[in-house]
Amino acid sequence: MPVITISKEFASGGLEIAKRLAQKLNYDYLDKEIVEQVASQARVSHQEVMDFEEEGHINVRAYLSRIIDLDIFKKNNKHDEQEIETTYDERDKIPYSFDTQGWIDSDIYRDMICKVISELGQRPNVMIVGRGGQCILREQAGVINIRIIASMTDRIARLQIEKPNLSEAQAQKQIEAMDKKSREYIRFYFKEDWNDARLYDVTINTSRLSDDRAVKWLAGLCA
């Protein structure tokens, strides 16, 4: 059974389809678990990874981490018997040879995401949701990269079912904001275009195919 990566437009039905497909195939559905592993390996809190993941690729902190060595800002333990000197080059090594001491920057985050997803991609029966899995595992044999999309009209309708108090204009604004985050994440960390069809083996348009048929068809493809 292949490793599956899922990329989805916001409010396209992709989340529901991915969960149902994982259940149907008896796959491990890996989303927040990836965050847990990144936090553990980078030795920072789960919440800090979550916070950085949301905005880390577009804020000043991420920009600075690309132009200067932010090790100088990390906390130093005055009770250490011996100070361990680290350089920028050492940060690029996996596994890391220094204690991040509650710090995460864009380089650490990207390397940890690549390391964790590459390791997960070696396991049987796993579905990796988001976080550039389609970029990290694109050259690996036995991987199916799936993208789920829909028309803006249908996405607005889906979101209004979940949040009935939203106007059409408000729903569209939220959808566009979430899509922008996804595009910028892929561009910043992987220098790829989120919408590039070459990143995906299969694209499902839920405006043309019902969720039930999408799950059934994908299950047959991946079985």
Domains in the chain: ranges and CATH:
1-27+125-223 (3.40.50.300), 32-124 (no CATH)
Mean pLDDT across 199-215: 96
Q: Is the peptide bond before 95 cis (omega within 30 degrees of 0)?
A: yes
Query: So what's the pLDDT on residue 18?
Result: 97
pTM score, two decimals? 0.78
- Which of helix, strand or coil describes residue 127? strand
The residues pairing with 30 across neighbouring beta strands, listed in sequence order, are 128
Q: What is the DSSP string of the chain?
A: --EEEEEE-TTSSHHHHHHHHHHHHT-EEESHHHHHHHHHHHTS-HHHHHHHHHHTTTSHHHHHHHHS-GGGGS---TT-SSPPP--HHHHTSSS-SS--TT---HHHHHHHHHHHHHHHTTSSSEEEESTTHHHHTTTSTTEEEEEEE--HHHHHHHHHHH-TT--HHHHHHHHHHHHHHHHHHHHHHH---TT-GGG-SEEEETTTS-HHHHHHHHHHHH-
pLDDT per position as a tens digit, 139-192: 899 999 999 999 999 999 999 999 999 999 999 999 999 999 999 999 999 999
> What tens digit of pLDDT does each residue of 53-82 get?
776 555 444 444 444 444 544 444 444 444
pLDDT of residue 149: 98
**Strand ranges in 56-178 using DSSP code E only, listed in sequence order:** 126-129, 143-149
Give the pLDDT of residue 91. Answer: 41
Q: How confident is the model at residue 102 (pLDDT cuts 50, 70, 90)?
A: low
Mean pLDDT of 122-142: 93
Query: What pLDDT is attached to residue 161?
Result: 96
Interior angle at CA 183, CA 19 and CA 95, nearest 5: 75
29 pLDDT exceeds 60? Answer: yes
pLDDT(52) > 80: no
Q: Are 151 and 175 in contact (CB under 8 A)?
A: no
